[in-house]
Amino acid sequence: MVDLCLTGRQQEVQRAAREFAERELAPHARDNDRAQRAPVGLIRRMGEAGWLAPALPEAYGGRGLDMISYALVTEEIGRVDSSLRTALSITCSLVSLTVLAWGTREQQRRWLPELASGRAVGCFGLTEPQSGSVAAGCVGIMQASLEAATAYAGRRQAFDRPIAAFQLVQELLADIAVETEAARLLVWKAGDLKDRGEPSTAATSMAKLYASEGAVRAANAAIQVHGGYGYFDEYPVERYLRDARVATLYEGTTQIQKLIIGRHLTGLDAISP
């Protein structure tokens, strides 16, 4: 049986993360982007509220959530501010979960509560082979692009009707919606495999590849729906495109994701032949 429904607990986490993101983070996203400011105070705030360590055990200051719940949190943060989503992914996936898996007891006791609370900020010096949280963050960008484009298309009038009434504008919206849903399901599949302890590398690469490239297409389409306004930062969609574009580069470029999938399919390594 395939169950594509969220549990009650997962829905609760999704709702709480969305409320937090909209209340605490969204109001500052544009100003921080314009000022090119790293919002250390907001990162600390995310830590205090438990959103920097969704997948870390409670014993270390985390929420002890499953990977799908973690993906939901990442999507909600990514929906309002992809820069803070990056802080979450790096702190939780790349640093905290790495220390949890391979750190000594002493390193775990010393660093995990600091990272979970936002008193310490994680960074890394390698490329992550299983970049699931980036994929989930890209779904957040896609969802935000869909919401922004749909709202604008409903407001903007041309020829005495909202542009949402034009078929080609509806095509842009429909394409974003379908790709967002497809990317979300790929992310959930990768998270589910991880939760079950089954091999998840190829599924994670598929999710990362599809969601990051899909986020570029979604943000681009959202700009198209906004017309000339989409190019300026009065509306958030040009930021969505910048945020999405970098996700096809870091934590495994698009080409490298394809080669990981190709290696999975053929057993032949074309990355370093």
Ligand X SMILES: Cc1cc2nc3c(=O)[nH]c(=O)nc-3n(C[C@H](O)[C@H](O)[C@H](O)COP(=O)(O)OP(=O)(O)OC[C@H]3O[C@@H](n4cnc5c(N)ncnc54)[C@H](O)[C@@H]3O)c2cc1C
Comparison of 32 and 253: residue with beta carbon closer to ligand X: 253
* Residues within window 86-125 making contact with ligand X, judged by CB under 6 A: 124-125
Tell me which residue of 260, 261, 164 sits closest to 271, measured CA to CA.
260
C-alpha span between 175 and 169 (Å, rounded): 10
x/- binding map, residues 235-254, to ligand X, per CB under 6 A?
A: -----------x--xx--x-
Least distance in Å: CB of 131 to ligand X? 10
Q: Active-site residue 147, yes or no?
A: no
x/- binding map, residues 123-162, to ligand X, per CB under 6 A?
A: -xxxx-----------------------------------
For 131, the 3-state DSSP assignment is: coil
Q: Count residues near ligand X (CB under 6 A).
A: 12
| H-type alpha helices, 63-200 | 67-80, 82-88, 97-102, 105-117, 132-155, 167-196
Farthest-apart Cα atoms in the chain, separation:
68
Amino acid (one-letter) located at 173: L
Residue 40 found at the interface with ligand X (CB under 6 A) = no
Residue 38 found at the interface with ligand X (CB under 6 A) = no
Enumerate residues 6+ apart whose C-beta is below 8 A from 205.
252, 257, 260, 261, 264
- By CB under 6 A, name the one of 195, 256, 261, 263 that touches ligand X: 256
> Which residues lie near ligand X (CB under 6 A)?
124-127, 246, 249-250, 253, 255-256, 259, 271
What positions carry a catalytic annotation?
251
